[in-house]
A and B are shown apart, each in its own frame.
Chain A
Amino acid sequence: MSTLTAASYNTGFLPTWCPGCGDFGIWKSLQGALAKLEIGPNDGLIVYGIGCHGNMYDWMNVYGFAGLHGRALPVAQGVKLANHTLPVIVVSGDGDCLGEGGNHFIHAAKRNPDITVMIHDNQVYGLTTGQASPTAKVGFKTKSTPDGASDEPMSPLALAITAGATFAARAFAGDLVGLTEIMAQAIQHKGFSVVDILQPCVTFDKVHTYQWYRQRLYKVESEAGYDPKNRMKAIEKAFEWGDKIPVGILYQEERLTSEARESALEHSTLIEKKLEIANWDKLLLEFI
């Protein structure tokens, strides 16, 4: 019986996020999901991006990798290929994952590694004091878009599903119970799972408040006959935004993971392999 609780993951460091930030809910939900899945501080790795979200590692007692802005997914894939039995989770933001790391996100989805990415989606760059992120909706006024954002916003889930992700869910940072459950399901999913977490930025976004979201969110599974295996329907749901915004598992399918397709990993992880080559002379024969 596991003795892990959310408190097992505290480090003694206190969060530096703004009071009321959506990151608190994401942090607590992730601790809850890890405890639920019995992934202890020594049992897994969280790879963080750079942004407000990324500061989470300091108060998260699990092996952590706080790398470069946008590069969390390639690091996570390298770790996963070296040790595919290790749970690997990516904590990223909309700017980190879709702006600086957009190409990595597309290709990670295409490869389907057994990695879960939690995208803190608040439409702004908070750590640099409030510029528009790739998910900023048209008209949204930020420090970099004083007249309102004019580019089309990116849909993280439509992009993920199109590129090949095998699990795509949307959740809300203000619903700890629902978010914890979705995170746990995403981590348990064998393949590339994306959780787009809607998160109010209480400092730089006065529009998309907790209240704003609560008035609009509905559970996709409450819709009669919704089938998360239906790819086209899932894409349609991913784009749904306005008076009604769906949360829940929009899409899920089973497909071989990136690691499962590597014949070298069939019997053991890379880090368990013998380093000496048994058939060295046979290898040299090819060059004679």
Chain B
Amino acid sequence: MKMGNKYILRVVSMKQTVTWKIAGEAGFGIMSAGTMLSRAFTRAGYHIFAINDYPSLIRGGHNVVTLRIATTPFTSITREVNVLVGLNAESIEKHIHEIQDGTVVVFDPKDKEWTAAEFVTKVELVSLPLRQIVASFAADTIMRNTIALGASIALMGASFDIFSSVLHDQFIRKGQEIVDENIKIAKAGYDYIQKNYPTLTSLYLEKGEYTEKIAVVNGSEALGLGAVKAGLKFAAIYPMTPINALISFLADHAKELELVYKQPEDEIAGINMAIGASLAGARSMVATSGGGFALMVEGLSLVGMIEVPLVIDLGMRVGPATGMPTYTEQGELLFAIHAGHGEFPRIVLAPADAKETFDLTILAFALADKYHVPVFVLTDKYLNESQWCIPVSQLQSTVPIDRGKLIMGDTGKAEHEFKRYALDTEDGVSIRSVPGTKNGQFYANSYEHDGLGHMTESASLRKDMVEKRMKKMLAIQKEMLSPIQYGDTDAEITLVTWGSTRGPVLTAMEMVRSKGKKVETIYIPWLFPFPVDGFMALVAGKKRVIDIEQNATAQLGQLIRVSTGFDIREKLLKYDGRPFFPEEIVELCLH
């Protein structure tokens, strides 16, 4: 936070954070507008976070991007809206209830001449002739969003230069001429505000503080970056919202990163292809949402039986069935933990933001190779499709890659002396070979099997094999990540949460603390096997514990009760498909 002389000397009072919202019909370039503005501000040294809201349609329907820009790091958007840009009259009407005192409402008078009397709150109206400007350049109407972006930068008191470099990078593949045209049109929007609204300075932002480079990624891209950093070589992913950006990332980079992305005919094929690639020795993954994962469940059980490493990105969205495909939910925690016929070890991790998605994905690959088990990275629509910022330095650490107990050349054993499923292991993990390894021949067998992989129905061998596999859970438990505590350890209120809900919870916690109440958050990134001791150490003796999750049945609460016997009675559950606003959590804490 900037304090002292420099701050006071400024003529206008500068804002440290602004929330900007743009809305319009699908196909108006709303989503790309959000990304471009995010990038412009991160390049200028700000932190950003952007969420989108759109129906499961390609054309028509109402698309919205909400972007928060701030001089310091933050964890969530709030209900505050400082700028609303409506690319049609409906866009203002639909969001009129979100508009507060001081909100700047940007509209095209050709859509509708809005007057202050039409708003309950005291708004600042900015009439921006989008269509007229487009016409003056004989440009396509799609370019209204570019004008609106130029105007928005002016409204926030930023230099136009921060935007021209973004436009350059966005359009240079189409040629310099297209870049120049975009810059010219964006500048027209910027100049229009400077000329016609010179005294409208209420949204001017303090200067961005960050000198280091900041990456703007959505959650899927963060997961993709983590995967390739971890040595991902094979992915078979059937398209499904909300993990489609991961497909684009992998497919676009397959050549330069020397990996194979394969589009399977369905999720059943996807997981079986990944199992095959993993068995052959390539670090492999699948990604899907709940419905696709339902099809993978049979394959998951096979992974458990033949003990191949596999990373599964399960991007939750609103269910059951097709549900609301483009909306968010945390409804598959218990599904991930219990999926699959029969009993076998697994690990379930759930990151809260893009940076943690990157880190936990790398960890997931390491754990899968170390224990020959399926490892879930449980994400959701809100995490996957929101735009997050990560300082580049946090993505640059060297990651040593350990393939675990794996022999790929020659086992050095006599024929059939090598036992792929050998029982004499401390941690249940036997050394694996891959097809083609000299003297390493074995059978990967879906049936219960002996050390070489031959089928068995022997009672004693069956018992030994179950115990060998389940023994891994004990070893895995030794390296679980503990739950993380934020805020006041002597709190009156303890908020317990997981996954992307951490963002709004932490923002809410700070809002409540600023009102003088002592609050803490316990966040659980490693969910299965459940970190019983770590959790109990944090929660024991707490006065008021509230479980906050985005589902209707308090799945984390259920998991905690089953694992620890600790029953969290007070819950705040949301299941309308929209992420929590911090204010919803604040309200509960103050009552």
Contacts and interface: CB of A to CB of B under 8 A. Distances in A.
Interface of A: 11, 13, 41-45, 47, 50, 55, 57-58, 61-68, 71, 73-83, 85-86, 103-104, 106-107, 262-265, 270-271, 273, 275-277, 279-281, 283-284, 287-288
Interface residues of B, number: 72
A271 B280 contact: yes
* Among B233, B236, B401, B437, residue most surrounded by chain A Cβ atoms (within 10 Å): B233
B303 to A, nearest CB: 11
Interface in B431-445: 434-445
B92 interface: no
B215 A287 contact: yes
A103 B266 contact: yes
Contact of B438 (A42, A45, A55, A264): A42
B422 interface: no
A76 B276 contact: yes
A287 B216 contact: yes
B233 A71 contact: no
Contacts of B225: 283-284
Contacts of A284: 215, 225, 392, 395-396
Contacts of B443: 57-58, 63-66
B502 interface: no
B234 interface: yes
Interface string B252-285: 0111111110101110111011111111111110
Contacts of A281: 396
Contacts of B395: 284
Contact of B436 (A42, A57, A107, A262): A42
A219 to B, nearest CB: 35
Contacts of B444: 64-67
B22 interface: no
Contacts of B266: 103
Interface in B34-50: 39, 42-43
B159 interface: no
Given A79-B280, A82-B280, A67 B441 contact: no
A81 B446 contact: no
* Among A41, A77, A270, residue most surrounded by chain B Cβ atoms (within 10 Å): A270
Interface in B11-43: 39, 42-43
A42 B441 contact: yes
B302 A283 contact: no
A223 to B, nearest CB: 35
A82 B272 contact: no
* Among A50, A85, A104, A288, residue most surrounded by chain B Cβ atoms (within 10 Å): A288
B378 to A, nearest CB: 23
19 contacts: A41-B415, A55-B455, A64-B443, A68-B272, A68-B446, A74-B268, A74-B276, A75-B276, A78-B236, A78-B272, A79-B280, A83-B282, A86-B436, A271-B281, A275-B230, A275-B233, A276-B401, A283-B228, A288-B214
B552 interface: no
Contact of B435 (A61, A86, A264): A86
A65 B279 contact: yes
A83 B233 CA distance: 11
Contacts of B265: 103-104, 106-107
A264 B269 contact: no
B299 interface: yes
